[in-house]
Structure 1
């Protein structure tokens, strides 16, 4: 999970890697992201393999859970309750939370999870994750730099990407852009059922060739052509050099989730 030493000079290189197709991804999932009326919006925090609806990892209590709205950081950790999430293969510890949506604007939701020990690699993984909601289509905070230890700053509005267009982001670590960062890209192939805390039906078959990967350019930027509507996750792996936890390597990853939509034809009169 080390940074690449070579990179494209002007744009991100997109390729298929020999890495496993089922990547670890921290989720912040809500079944509504474009909010019309004020109220408490339930979210689920799940550590999962969303492209294949694979193994669910047990989460520890997150270190932080908060939102940014109109420039104000609001702690949401008191809303967290431990629960379980069941995928096709197993059940794991997850968390339910609440995002209070009142005024119009963007709601940038962030979780900094407890480090997870990956026995097969003998390392810890900590995926600092952002997702987005909006009320009344008013842009306020979507492109904000939150100053996180690791984060991906979106260069397109992350809540209404048009399927068939592109999404671009800039990878940052401790306030500096990260050149040559490896970005794993996954589609949420089975959306969680909020009521039952189980995985829904698979909607796609993962592509051949392994994980979908892009590499950031010298400015820490990457671009991905979004082929279909739905939830897309981007994980910049191991972008904080030299990180450790309990005497072992700690991969500090930056994760962002965006929502793509189809453009529909108008209804016939």
Structure 2
């Protein structure tokens, strides 16, 4: 009964609120997050507005890029290569990588980008981003926190959420739950074309009324109904402990991407 009441409370907190601008979202994207055969997975790291195929922001060299598999952390900085990604209105610096995935289990990819200066708001943005891949269908720790400055810990398996069901997460800052935080929700309507370094045709249009927002409860948890198959991103803006960079305000955000599927 307690779990049911918590889920209902979370759903009630998943409300739509107006936002003044489209959401920035850091991508750590690979097309297939459930793989069977060993091989090298292609990744694109793009700072973008993927719901509306909007403005692309220039990425500087990341501070860190790594993967955690069965508790072991592997540095991936040497896999990164600079690219130019072209959105609907502009082109910007981004990165790509080819990452070997050999053993079964969960792979949690973590990107700690360099802070990005947003001139229109006169502040820096750093979106610490997690993305998930599973090989062989074996769960090995997708639900474990990684001890990041701020992160969203998934409470549903992030590689096979059912479209029409819900996704829940728990927001942490310095390991502690964050209550009353706004979580921006983004659908990757235009997925990157891995060969052309530009978006594919969008499969949905942004919602009216601004960004879609959920709010964490007293335990730092939120729940959002997933209406459509595809990649969904969740960002907690300013949830990190760092608040300043180079003498200006810093929004240190927690971002997570999950994959939803239709039942066939």
TM-score interval, normalised by the smaller of the two chains: over 0.9
Q: Answer yes or no: is 1:245 the counterpart of 2:245.
A: yes
More helix per residue: 1 or 2? 2
Counterpart-to-counterpart distance in 2, 1:155 and 1:52: 28
1:16 alignment partner, SS class: coil
Q: Render the CA deviation track for 1:157-190: whole Å, top value 9, x for unaligned.
A: 0000000000000000111011111100010010
Q: Answer yes or no: is 1:11 the counterpart of 2:10.
A: yes
Counterpart-to-counterpart distance in 2, 1:92 and 1:125: 16
1:147 alignment partner, SS class: coil
- State how 1:107-256 maps to structure 2 within 5 Å: 107-241=107-241, 243-256=243-256
Q: Render the CA deviation track for 1:35-75: whole Å, top value 9, x for unaligned.
A: 11101101000000011000000001000000010110110
Report the counterpart of residue 38 of structure 1 in structure 2.
Answer: 38
Answer whether contact 1:180 1:215 (CA < 8 A) is retained. yes
Q: Which deviates further from its counterpart, 201-210 or 59-68?
A: 201-210
Report the counterpart of residue 50 of structure 1 in structure 2.
Answer: 50
CA RMSD of aligned residues (A): 1.4
Counterpart-to-counterpart distance in 2, 1:81 and 1:178: 35
Q: Render the CA deviation track for 1:137-170: whole Å, top value 9, x for unaligned.
A: 0000211110000100000000000000000000
Report the counterpart of residue 82 of structure 1 in structure 2.
Answer: 82
Runs of 4+ in 1 over 3 A off after TM superposition: none
Answer whether contact 2:149 2:241 (CA < 8 A) is retained. no
1:41 alignment partner, SS class: strand
Report the counterpart of residue 3 of structure 2 in structure 1.
Answer: none
Counterpart-to-counterpart distance in 2, 1:254 and 1:161: 20
Counterpart-to-counterpart distance in 1, 2:156 and 2:44: 24
Report the counterpart of residue 257 of structure 2 in structure 1.
Answer: 257
Counterpart-to-counterpart distance in 2, 1:157 and 1:184: 20
1:50 alignment partner, SS class: coil
Q: Which runs of 5+ in 2 are unaligned?
A: 1-7
TM-score w.r.t. length of structure 1 = 0.93
Q: Are residues 217 and 107 of structure 1, via their aligned partners in 2, closer, same or farther at CA, if it must alter by over 3 Å?
A: same
Q: Which runs of 5+ in 1 are unaligned?
A: 1-8, 265-269
Answer whether contact 1:46 1:85 (CA < 8 A) is retained. yes
Answer whether contact 1:25 1:235 (CA < 8 A) is retained. yes
Answer whether contact 2:28 2:43 (CA < 8 A) is retained. yes
TM-score w.r.t. length of structure 2 = 0.95
